[in-house]
Amino acid sequence: MEKFWKYIFPPLYGLLVYFTIRLLLDSVTCMKFWHRTLLLNAIEMATSVVMGYLLLWLYQRLFRYFDKQWRADFSVKRIAKELLFVFLLNQLVQNLFMTPMAALTDDGLQWYDIADINTIPLLYAFIYYGVVRSNTFLQAYIQNRLLLEKITNDKLQTELKFLKAQYHPHFLFNALNTIYFQMDENVGEAKKTVEKFAELLRYQLYDQQHTVSISSEIQYLKNFIDLQKIRTSGKLRLHVVIDKSLNGEQVYPLLFLPLVENAFKYVGGDYQIELALQKVDDGICFCIENSVPGEIRFEKKGGIGLENLQRRLALLYPGKHSFVAKIKQDTFFAELKLTLN
Tens-place pLDDT, residues 281-290? 889 999 999 9
Q: Report the DSSP beta bridge partners of residue 333.
A: 289, 326
For residues 266 and 326, state if they share a domain: yes
Number of residues assigned to the chain:
341
For residues 132 and 209, state if they share a domain: no
Q: Can you tell me the distance from the alpha carbon of 207 to that of 308, in angstroms, rounded to the nearest whole number?
A: 20
For residues 125 and 194, state if they share a domain: no
Query: Is 163 inside any structural domain?
Result: no
Nearest to 178 by CA among 187, 190, 166: 190
pLDDT value, residue 165:
55
pLDDT value, residue 142:
80
For 279, phi and psi rounded to 5 degrees?
-90, 130
For residues 207 and 87, state if they share a domain: no
Query: Is 162 inside any structural domain?
Result: no
Query: 102, 125, 150: which is the final residue of a domain?
Result: 150
CA angle centred on 199, ends 194 and 205, rounded to 5°: 120
Region of poorest pLDDT, from 109-113, 294-298, 299-303, 318-322: 299-303
For residues 136 and 262, state if they share a domain: no
pTM over 0.75: no
- Write down the mean pLDDT value for the chain: 82
Please give the residue range of the domain that contains residue 121.
Answer: 2-150
For residues 191 and 144, state if they share a domain: no
Query: 94, 127, 150: which is the final residue of a domain?
Result: 150
Side-chain-facing half-sphere of 284: CA atoms under 13 Å:
25
Residue 179, pLDDT above cutoff 60:
yes
Query: Is 161 inside any structural domain?
Result: no
Give tens-digit pLDDT for 209-261: 578 889 988 988 998 888 778 767 678 899 999 999 988 899 988 889 889 98
Nearest to 47 by CA among 102, 126, 4: 102
Residue 154, pLDDT above cutoff 70:
no
Query: 150, 174, 209: which is the final residue of a domain?
Result: 150
Query: Is 169 inside any structural domain?
Result: no
Averaged pLDDT, 8-14: 90
Region of poorest pLDDT, from 186-190, 265-269, 292-296: 292-296
Residue 104, pLDDT above cutoff 80:
no
Q: How many domains does the chain have?
A: 2
Query: Is 71 inside any structural domain?
Result: yes
Q: What b-and-e string marks burial along 311-333, b requiring 16 or more CB atoms within 10 Å of the CB?
A: ebbeebbeeebebebeeeeebbe
For residues 190 and 284, state if they share a domain: yes
Query: Is 318 inside any structural domain?
Result: yes
**pLDDT greater at residue 208 or residue 267:** 267
Nearest to 94 by CA among 84, 86, 106: 86
Query: Is 54 inside any structural domain?
Result: yes
For 116, phi and psi rounded to 5 degrees?
-65, -40
Q: H/E/C letters for each residue in the chain? A: CHHHHHHHHHHHHHHHHHHHHHHHHHHHHCCCHHHCCHHHHHHHHHHHHHHHHHHHHHHHHHHHHHHHHCCCCCCHHHHHHHHHHHHHHHHHHHHHHHHHHHHHCCCCCCHHHHHHHHHHHHHHHHHHHHHHHHHHHHHHHHHHHHHHHHHHHHHHHHHHHHHHHHHHHHHHHHHHHHHHHHHCCCHHHHHHHHHHHHHHHHHHHHCCCCCEEHHHHHHHHHHHHHHHHHHCCCCCEEEEEECCCCCCCEECCCCCHHHHHHHHHHCCCCCEEEEEEEEECCEEEEEEEEECCCCCCHHHHCHHHHHHHHHHHHHHCCCCEEEEEEEECCEEEEEEEEECC
The Cα-based distances of 36 to 20, 27, 48, 110, 302 in angstroms read 17, 15, 17, 18, 93
For residues 55 and 144, state if they share a domain: yes
pLDDT value, residue 254:
84
pLDDT value, residue 116:
84
For residues 327 and 244, state if they share a domain: yes
Residue 207, pLDDT above cutoff 50:
no
Residue 301, pLDDT above cutoff 50:
no
Do the beta carbons of residue 259 and residue 301 sit within 8 Å?
no
Confidence band, pLDDT 50/70/90 cuts, at residue 169: low
pLDDT value, residue 163:
56
**pLDDT greater at residue 10 or residue 306:** 10
Query: Is 180 inside any structural domain?
Result: no
For residues 325 and 236, state if they share a domain: yes
CATH classification of the domain holding 245: 3.30.565.10
For residues 110 and 249, state if they share a domain: no
Averaged pLDDT, 152-164: 63
Region of poorest pLDDT, from 199-203, 220-224, 334-338: 199-203
pLDDT value, residue 296:
56
pLDDT value, residue 123:
92
For residues 141 and 224, state if they share a domain: no
